[in-house]
Structure 1
């Protein structure tokens, strides 16, 4: 059974990578993109989500939330200009209750991008993005959401 579950998860991951969007197993469990929100205040990433049509043994499922923050900064000091890119990732896997085939949850992950400002330089953020990847370990449902 563990081998079968591993194969199902691998198949869902490959299908997800091929399609670039949400994927689920034959049981039709899926994350709802419209009900998924991602935010980052510079120190904590918050991901709110909903998964529907969840059918699992028991009353809970385990969902992995991986959040990556990318920051592009331009720094100047006299005639010197630096373009700096920094990135940080946080990952958490948590058990969430299933109620009437639906999982609703919020994950809060500590996430801080370190080192974007060198000493003596004046810096400004040029671009920042946050990407969350959700995966239900039991159903194989996945979703990538950017903010």
Structure 2
């Protein structure tokens, strides 16, 4: 019984510390990604995601951000009167630490190798009709998230 009470007191103390800001996330509650400062592009081999997060207040001076990029491609392949329409996609993810400036801003650029396969059909002439890239940003310490489609 005494052991149970000690565990309960310890667990309560840990939870109280986390709620009071001991995790660092509570002190960054106002942090958010700026949609207008976010851009995503894809050159067929590399996805480039530019982003900015504001109101980040962590004692460590750095924060960990996950950047996931998904490229979607629609192609049309023809051979004579035969036409094939194909949709392909690929996703790449990168997690890195980014420095926090004195004013609480995190500015970053992530370059992710990203190749979409299956865009050619033997014997057919293929051309991309449409492509897009979607970036998903998540700050592990502040909890800020953003989905950006370009």
- Give me the TM-score of the superposition, normalised by structure 2: 0.80
User: Which runs of structure 1 show a deviation greater than 6 angstroms over 4 or more consecutive aligned residues?
Assistant: none
| Unaligned runs of at least 5 residues, structure 1 | 6-24
Deviation track 1:43-94 (CA, whole Å, cap 9, x = no partner) reads: 0110111100001231100000000000000111122111101000000000
| Unaligned runs of at least 5 residues, structure 2 | 1-13, 20-26
Number of aligned residues = 127
Match of 1:59 among 46, 61, 68: 61
- Give me the TM-score of the superposition, normalised by structure 1: 0.81
Match of 1:86 among 82, 88, 93: 88
**Higher RCO, Cα 8 Å, sep 6+:** 1
Check whether the contact 2:30–2:55 (CA below 8 A) recurs between aligned residues.
Answer: yes
**Larger of the two Rg values belongs to structure:** 2
Distance in 2, matches of 1:46 and 1:144, equals: 14
Range moving further from structure 2, 49-58 or 132-141 = 49-58
Range moving further from structure 2, 32-41 or 61-70 = 32-41
How much is the aligned-residue C-alpha RMSD, in angstroms? 1.9
